[in-house]
Amino acid sequence: MQLRQKIALFVAVALSLPIVELVLSALGVGLFLRIGFALIGIGAAASAAVSWYQATARELNAIRTAIDETAGHGSVSPLINSSSDEIGMLAQAVQGLRDRLALMNQLLVKSMRIESLNMLGSILAHDMKNLSFRLRCLAENFPGNFDNCEFRDSLVRTLNETTQQMDQMVRRFRDQKDTVIVKLRINLNEVLCNALDNIRRDGGGIRITEEYDDLPLVWADALLIENAVYNILDNACAAMPWGGHLAVRTKLIQNGESNVPQVLIEIADSGVGMPEDFIQNELFAPFVTTKTNGLGLGLYTCQQVIRMHGGKIRVYSELQRGSVFSIYLPVTD
């Protein structure tokens, strides 16, 4: 029964009581009998009203609980309402909304997994390119330096490190299921030193200075952070084709907004610099590169990795004076 029909029925019952009173009075029914009939009618109407109110309250409470469960992302109990009135229609609409939200959530999870795989694939492709460049440099220097004992030792060490990194990246991509990063408590200063060792090995003619603060251990993925830092270092070296100064610093600072401790990694070069418009619109865009053989994924994947760790990157640059990349990573217990 529709809500307006129930209301009309109660109104009709209420209006019928005086009419019944008049009819009984006209028939000569005694006062006590008329009062008894009136009380019975009022009691029946009140009982029906209370029963209808309780049923309506239960149905509305079930709908409210269903909405709260949906909004809270908790366990969702089935919403059952077989009535055909307005409340039943509302329950059906809420159930339909929950079904659509559940479907959208499933599609969102699938989309996030696909995006994670795409991002991991971009990281893998770019880092494999860097490792390939390192191996190519070794191959080019091999014929003229093979008699040098130090070169042979460096060659063996570099080959071992490179194959280990390749194995780690391939294993990460192969075993990836629902997560992209594996966070452990790491020393960021050591991660930076490892990245700088690769820079020293891959390039030359650049003066490198290092300044490390006493940092707490940070929850992070050492492999991804090292690759991200290496990408920035490699781009800094590329910005100084005729040599220059590369400065690396770490500091422990306080976030001015949340007063939460952060690790600041600063990478400064004395290279050609970049215009502000390029920094804002193209620097971190995928497949945008100024290198002849570049993929345009290095700084894009670097930014994604830092974001995955809850951090951010800021860039300051002046043309013909150099650039400063500032990486902020939160310190969490």
Q: What is the pLDDT of residue 210?
A: 95
Question: Could you please report the per-residue DSSP string of 275-309?
Answer: -HHHHHHTTTSTT--SSTT--S-HHHHHHHHHHHT
Q: Is the pLDDT of residue 254 over 70?
A: yes
Q: Residue 295 — φ and ψ, nearest 5°?
A: -95, -15
Closest CA relative to residue 127, chosen from 286, 292, 298, 303:
298
In this predicted model, what pLDDT tens digit does every residue of 273-294 receive, in sequence order?
Answer: 999 988 888 888 776 666 655 5
Where do the domains of the chain lie? 3-77, 182-333
Q: Note the residue count of the chain.
A: 333
pTM of the model: 0.50
**Quick one: residue 298, left, alpha or beta (phi over 0 = left, psi -120 to 50 = alpha)?**
alpha
In the chain, pLDDT over 90 holds for what percent of residues?
21
Q: Is the pLDDT of residue 133 over 90?
A: no
Q: What is the pLDDT of residue 103?
A: 72
Q: What is the pLDDT of residue 179?
A: 47
Pick one of 3.30.565.10, 3.90.226.10, 3.30.460.10, 3.30.470.30 as the CATH number of 182-333: 3.30.565.10
Q: What is the pLDDT of residue 178?
A: 45
Q: What is the pLDDT of residue 57?
A: 74
269 SS3 class: strand
Alpha-carbon span 84 to 80, nearest angstrom: 12
Mean pLDDT of 160-174: 69
Tokens (6 digits) for 15? 């209006």
> What is the residue-averaged pLDDT of the chain?
76
CA atoms within 13 A on the CB side of 302: 24
In this predicted model, what pLDDT tens digit does every residue of 169-192 receive, in sequence order?
Answer: 666 665 554 445 678 889 999 999
In this predicted model, what pLDDT tens digit does every residue of 59-114 receive, in sequence order?
Answer: 777 777 767 666 655 445 555 555 656 667 777 777 777 777 767 766 665 565 55
Pairing relation of β-strands 184-186 and 261-269? Answer: unpaired
